[in-house]
Chain A
């Protein structure tokens, strides 16, 4: 590049009057049907972008972004789950040799090796060959890494309790609850509220508003439990049970 004395500028700017522009790559070494980027190829890119955007908007219209209930850091029963593209890292920490006393293996060593290797790929794979078949080490390491990521993600998805995940984060419309009612007092006396919340909007257990159960089903659940709820939590009298079941069966957000 020409520097210093003899340089000419446009006006009094720093833009060189006779400087070489960015060297557009000369593709004469690969003879073929080249096409001008501007405007021909850019128009095609624009069309691909438009088609992509239409598909993307269809997705957003069909599947609104999820929103769970407002954060309640005191709810210790909540099973956390990161966004899907972190699942493989998260799953890695669940194996015995990558967690607990070996936590450093799962949280630092393996990710650093994997991402460090990715970043330094050009310096590790230095040969002149470009075809995947002629770079057996690079190709097989990458295939192994992809298989590992896919496997870990699948494991994480497979072992996650999706039903609980759907119920634990649900936004529950609060309703005005008559806390003097006999049914509510029965819930209070039988420690139901410690799991289902004082406003019955859920906690360790699901919300009790709009359960969709009939009074008889509620009586059965209160006595015999269901899912993660053990049997025998309800210890009151039959009248209390009756009041409780009627109260919950009629508890609706509408």
Chain B
């Protein structure tokens, strides 16, 4: 049955080269923890991606309950946390995942840095990786406001004050992300929501795709 479907699709699209590009390659000995346990340092990048997938899935479920307006945002999070079946687990995964993804990405960055794996020909992949790091930090920053509790609003006020202090373009940046030159309120919450849920994930997926395509194209760096 499965074979017939595969053949039917393959006859029309020639999909064998596509999945072979993705999956059909050898994993060299020096990155395989089964051969050298110290190779576990090569797991950090994959775990970062794994947590990113968890973040996307748990975030999708959170938006089924979350309401991005200042009257209902906190109430909806409170309801999700205390009333909805497994709501506490889903929100907990998203909350702790946000921290873990930073930890894993930090370890992955250090692994690549100290192994000098960013050297020619992999310079571009390093730059894309650092951009992913920035996107992740921005996701953490915008996501922090969404529960609309005390720490969320006051941390965001601090962030906006810092953005405001940038010379020349500071006030414009602040107005862009807060929705108003002075008020931190309804508009700020909807902007942060849009940035957190649509803009940044779109940028993140594009960058991650570029990151992986470059890895497949160049292969993993050799042993030291």
Chain A contacts to B: CB under 8 angstroms: 10-11, 13, 15, 17, 19, 21-25, 27, 29-30, 32-38, 41-42, 44-45, 48-49, 52-53, 56-57, 59-61, 63-73, 75, 78-86, 90, 93, 103-104, 107-108, 115, 118-119, 121-123, 125-126, 128-132, 135, 138-139, 142, 146, 168-169, 171
Inter-subunit contact B28/A30 (CB<8 Å) = yes
Residues of B within 8 A of A139 (CB): 114
Residues of B within 8 A of A135 (CB): 116
Secondary structure class of chain B's binding surface, majority of residues: helix
**In the complex, given contacts A70-B74, A82-B141, A122-B118, what are 19 additional A-B residue pairs having Cβ atoms less than 8 angstroms apart?**
A15-B17, A32-B35, A34-B26, A34-B28, A37-B24, A37-B27, A56-B93, A56-B96, A60-B93, A60-B96, A65-B94, A68-B150, A82-B144, A85-B99, A85-B102, A86-B141, A90-B158, A130-B115, A169-B150
Q: Does B165 contact A (CB under 8 A)?
A: yes
Which interface residue of B12, B32, B54, B216 has the most chain A CB atoms within 10 A? B32
Interface stretch of the complex, out of B1-9, B84-92, B198-206:
B84-92
Chain B: minimal CB distance from A24 (Å): 4
Chain B contacts to A: CB under 8 angstroms: 12-14, 17, 20-21, 23-30, 32-35, 43, 46-47, 50, 54, 70, 74-75, 77-78, 81, 88-89, 91-100, 102, 109-110, 113-120, 122-123, 126-127, 130-131, 134, 137, 140-141, 144, 147-155, 157-159, 162, 165-167, 184-185, 216-224
Residues of A within 8 A of B94 (CB): 65
Inter-subunit contact B119/A142 (CB<8 Å) = no
